[in-house]
Amino acid sequence: MSKLYNVDANSKFNEVYLNEFIQSIQGMARIEERGTDFLRVVTLKNNLYNVIEKLLKIKDVYLRTMVSSDERTINGFFKLYYVFGIDTLSKSVIIEVPLTENDLIVPTLVNLVKAVDWYEREAHDLMGIKFAGRNQYRFVLPDDWPTDVYPLRKDYAIQDLMKLYTPKVIERAKEVEAEAVTIIPIGPYHPALHEPEYFELYVRGEKIVDVRYVGFMVHRGIEKLGESMKYNQVPFLAERICGICGFVHSTSYCQAVEQALQIDVPERAQYIRSIVLELERLHSHLLWLGVAFHLLGYDTGFMHSWRIREQVMILAELLTGSRKTYGINIVGGVRRDIDEDKIRKSLEVLKNVEKEFKTFIDIAVSVPQVKARLKGTGILPKSEAHALSLVGPTVRGSGIPRDIRKDYPYAAYRYIHFDVAVQDECDNMARALVRIDEIFESIDILRQLLDKLPKGAIAVESWDPEPHRIGIGSVEAPRGEVIHMVITGIYSPYRWRVRAPTYQNLPAVPIMLREIELADAPITIASIDPCFSCTDRALIINIKTGKIEGVPLYVLSRKKLEAVR
């Protein structure tokens, strides 16, 4: 089992490093705002590289997210916000860079901050900002998207974008005089979790020697849509970002708005949010374990894991009224309370889940074939995990105890005790053991939350929006940190930025795949618990003969299982 870190002992508040950073950037930047848990710094683009270089001298700094924003109607500028976290200080440092419309070129930071790569590409695609010193190509938008139309700019409403974009398939339909077009998105497939992503695995014999990843097959435009909705409509949209862990998104959004507008959420509501968040972690981790066992050919483990998970789904329905997509978050609190009878029933279910899971998992992780497939495969070195600013069980499986429930406490986590599960082995087994320990920790957290649930209101009676305030909300989702940033408007979020954990963790997968056997690719990709959307195929191209062969992925994965039996 993984070792457990008590981060409290390692996270003593220390402003020294931060004060040294502030002193070192005098003349290059100004301090715009300094709160208890964040620091806003404004700098010009010519000083950006130097300012961030000095920030990175602080230990444990990582890039949490980057946001591009069109604020011409507010202050005349486009802006970039680089949001860094300092785990040991429980602080976020926001580096803000204003850009004029006729000069949207910024130096790339990709050589300084490895994790910024995808953020820069996305800002170019969606906002039209160019990054000097790197190749820039279409990243998120489809290839036939019109040139010089940047959808996140305020120049376009959603209805405008729908008129501007005509997919090529429509032109084809006109050519053949068809009456209608039906698009059925089949593939590319994730080789484990039935979702649209695409990996090219270059092999020598059975060894993977290189990897190319192509993603963003599905872009739903949720941020743009949210900016046209009223504040309390957005949580219901946010919860649909993920079909497994949607509550983390509605919570992150609400927390961002509440921080921006300084809304004091009742303590009981914070407890209820934490209870539902931990239920979500329980059923998500149990789902992942089932999928992992299935990929390894251990279907008995798959069925037992999902059998135990079913009790958690029923409990979620008892507490929220729904097995998934709970719909109880609103800005300022929650919409559904928990009474004493539900607390009693919850404790009974948790006791049974804990007992059954312990019996099951002790056997499951001892199965020789499971151990042989997980140990020593999918290695992710700690240095790479740090450089890529990874999150969740992926980073904790590489020896870094990053968990924002501890590092940046929110909701009711500041009122309870728990440990952070960490493994140093950096392989697929390490990431599995972290999740197993987190299941037991979640059960213990839920008991504490249910026991300490305070009396009182579950939502504020009213609150008033104030435009142009900035708020950040983040949650430790089952897959890792989810972070939302909101710039407030009058009736709606002026800018809403969502960053899910898969976006942060996926660039590490090619590193984990290199030099492993082809049969271990499915479980290695699945080990980050990726979240995209749904599909499954494998084509093998023989370079010498040119022969192309389709292989069912379960056949590919089970090939090695036969060898280790």
| β-pair type (420-422, 470-477) | unpaired
Least confident of 7-11, 171-175, 274-278: 7-11
How high does pLDDT run on average in the chain? 89
Which residue has better confidence, 199 or 113?
Answer: 113
Torsion of CA 99, 105, 111, 112, to 10 degrees: -10
Q: Please write the tens of the pLDDT for every residue from 314-339.
A: 999 999 999 989 999 999 999 999 99
Share of the chain above pLDDT 90, in %: 72
Residues near 168 by Cβ (< 8 Å), separated by ≥ 6?
144
Q: Please write the tens of the pLDDT for every residue from 421-449.
A: 999 999 999 999 999 999 999 999 999 99
Q: 188: phi > 0 → left, psi -120 to 50 → alpha, else beta; which?
A: beta
pLDDT the model gives residue 1 = 47
Compute CA distances 413 → 330, 407, 452, whole Å: 19, 10, 12
Which residue has better confidence, 169 or 37?
Answer: 37
Q: Please write the tens of the pLDDT for every residue from 42-100.
A: 999 999 999 999 999 988 899 999 999 999 999 999 999 999 999 888 899 999 999 99
Provide the H-helix boundaries in 296-329: 299-320
pLDDT the model gives residue 35 = 85
Q: Please write the tens of the pLDDT for every residue from 538-552.
A: 556 555 565 656 665
What mean pLDDT do residues 260-286 have?
98
Which DSSP string corresponds to 495-539?
EEEEE-HHHHHGGGHHHHHTTSBGGGHHHHHHTT----------E
Whether the pLDDT of residue 5 is over 70: the answer is no
| Residue 422: strand pairing partners | 3
Helices 246-260 and 267-295 sit at what angle, rounded to 10 degrees?
Answer: 150
Q: How far apart are CA 138 and CA 156, in angstroms?
A: 19
Q: 66: phi > 0 → left, psi -120 to 50 → alpha, else beta; which?
A: beta
Q: How far apart are CA 75 and CA 97, in angstroms?
A: 13
| Confidence at 31, pLDDT banded by 50, 70, 90 | very high
Whether the pLDDT of residue 386 is over 60: the answer is yes
pLDDT the model gives residue 192 = 53
Q: Please write the tens of the pLDDT for every residue from 233-243.
A: 999 999 998 88
Residue closest to 123 by CA, chosen among 152, 144, 97: 152
Which DSSP string corresponds to 461-505?
S-----TT-EEEEEEEETTEEEEEEEEE-SSSEEEEEEE-HHHHH
What mean pLDDT do residues 397-407 have?
96
Which residue has better confidence, 474 or 161?
Answer: 474
Q: Please write the tens of the pLDDT for every residue from 183-228.
A: 555 555 555 556 667 788 898 988 999 998 887 777 778 999 999 9
pLDDT the model gives residue 6 = 43
Give the chain's length.
Answer: 565
| Confidence at 394, pLDDT banded by 50, 70, 90 | very high
Share of the chain above pLDDT 70, in %: 87
Whether the pLDDT of residue 11 is over 50: the answer is no
Q: Please write the tens of the pLDDT for every residue from 114-150.
A: 999 999 999 999 999 999 999 888 888 888 888 889 9
Q: Tell whether omega for the bond before 188 is within 30 degrees of 0, i.e. cis.
A: yes
pLDDT the model gives residue 195 = 65
Whether the pLDDT of residue 536 is over 60: the answer is no
